[in-house]
Every structure is written in C-alpha cells, then in structure tokens.
Chains A and B, each alone.
Chain A
Amino acid sequence: MQYIGYMTAAYIIIWVAILLYFLNLAKREKDIWEELQGLRATLNRGESTPQDNV
C-alpha cells in the first residue's frame, strides 16, 4: 500500500478535471443553442413581417 494516497489523489484530479471540463462544455453548448433558437425565431418573424423591429 506504499504511496496509495498519492495515486488516489492523482486519479481523482484527472477524473474531476475532465468531468468539470465536460460539464462546462455542456453548459456552453446549452447556452449557445438556446440563444441561437431565440435569434432564429426573431429572424424568421422579421422575414414574415418586415415592418417588425428585429
């Protein structure tokens, strides 16, 4: 069991870092898609009624 604490710490750091990066990436993607859908809808409304303020 020599140095098992160091190994555990290294493995935890790797998994936590990768998990946090993935969660951050998923959040960025979700925000972008929400904004994109909103803007697309705005743009489509603008095309159907040109007088509308876009």
Chain B
Amino acid sequence: MRRPYIPAFVFGILALIGLAIAPYMALMYAGMEKDMGFAQKIFYYHVPSAFMMYIGFALCAIFSALYLYKKDKKYDIWALCSAEVGLLFCTLVLLTGPIWAKPIWGTWWVWDAQLTLTLMLWLIFVAYMMLHSYSEDSLQSAKFRAVLGIIGFLDMPLIHYATKLWRTHHPEVVRGEEFGLPLDMKIAFYFCVLTFLMLFLAILFKRVSVEKAHDELESIKSEIRDRKAILGQLGSD
C-alpha cells in the first residue's frame, strides 16, 4: 500500500494556494516599472527561483557532508533529492533570465561573471545527476557525488557576490539595505518567494518519498537475488 506523505501534501496545498494568488500579486498588485514594463514582472518568478536553487544546492552540500561523515544512506537520499530539485530551479533561472535580458539588454546572453558562474553551477549539478544515473557502483557513486555536491556549493557565494566582486551586467536586485523596491513590489516579491518556498518543499518531500520507495525496491530485489542464490546452492548440493 502506498504510504501517504504528509509534508509533501501539506506544502503542496500551500503552494497551490500561493500559485493561485501569485499571478495577481505580480501582475495586478505590484505596480508597473516604467522603463522595463512587463519584462520586470519576470523578476517575481526569476529571483525566487534563484533563491530555491541556492537552498536546494546548499541542502545538497549539507547532506553530502553528513553522508561523508556518518556514511548513512538516508543523507545520500536527501542530498540527491535536494540536488535534483535545486537543478530544476537552476534550469528555470537560466531559462527565464535570457527572456528578461533580451528586451532589456538587447541580447539573450552575455558572458559576464554572474551568468557564467550560474551556468557552471548548472553543469556541475548536471554532472552530479549523470553520476547518479550512469554509475554501477552505488556506494562509490554516492561518495563522488557527495564531493561534487560540496564543490558545487563553493560556487554559490561567488555567484551571489559576483556583482560586487566583478563588473557585471546583472542588476543588483536584492542586497540588504540596497533593496530599494517600492512597498507594493516588495510585498508581491516576498509573497512569490514564500510561494516558491512552499513549492520547493512540496517537490523536495515528494521526491524524497519516491527515492525512499526506489531504495526499498532495490533492497527487495537484492533479497530476491540472495534467495535465488541460496536455492541454487541447495539445488546443486
């Protein structure tokens, strides 16, 4: 019987409510930016996606470190799932960023520090997922992935502070006291961040439940193989 997974369900319901209201907050409640027009509205989904990317990859690094320290399979499962969900949001960041850039910068992509480092981060976690998919030795793969997850995490402070460290095209949108948006835009933005957080948690918990079921499946398969081997030995004796 399928196990109900309450956290995924609760966060899923909250995310659905948020997602129903988020377009109203972004399109109607928040005022229109006079220079960028509707292109600025991409910000309400692009930036929260970037935050969820950070959370996903940070969780992956934390669980990877715990896995390397304690060698407990459950940390590997959480690291893998966090990486996959982080990669989903990283992909959204890389897809929606150029759609904003085209009308504002006049080009889809520039090879500046922040964009290039984000692309690098995406490639690191694509490699992470490939290592999981194509490796036959699951124990060794888990160790390699854990190291890769921690290396990927080291890229994130560089991305976040790229606009301060180097001259980049990317705008400094949210940086502490410099976060100078009008109140209506701030409220809409924080609402979208909260909605994306609920969505992130719903997807993460769901993904973990699927991976745990997959793990259970693999252990049953292994048990069946062992029994077959024993029966084979008994038969030959």
Contacts and interface: CB of A to CB of B under 8 A. Distances in A.
Contact of B42 (A10, A35, A39): A10
Nearest to A13: B95
Interface residues of B, number: 37
A1 B231 contact: no
B207 A25 contact: yes
Contacts of B42: 6-7, 10-11
A42 B106 CA distance: 62
Contacts of B228: 53-54
B46 A21 contact: no
B25 to A, nearest CB: 13
**DSSP majority for the B interface?**
helix
A38 B42 CA distance: 46
Given A10-B96, A17-B92, A28-B210, A22 B203 contact: yes
**Which bracket fits the contact residues of A?**
20 to 34
Nearest to A7: B38
Interface of A: 1-4, 6-7, 9-11, 13-14, 17-18, 21-22, 25, 28-29, 32-33, 35-36, 39-40, 42-43, 46, 53-54
A42 to B, nearest CB: 7
Interface of B: 2, 23, 36-39, 41-42, 45-46, 49, 88, 91-92, 95-96, 99-100, 102-103, 199, 203, 206-207, 209-210, 213-214, 216-217, 220-221, 223-224, 227-228, 231
A35 B88 CA distance: 27
Contacts of A3: 36-39, 103
A48 B166 CA distance: 69
Contacts of A7: 38-39, 41-42
A25 B206 contact: yes
Contact of B100 (A6, A14, A21): A6
A21 B231 CA distance: 42
A21 B88 CA distance: 8
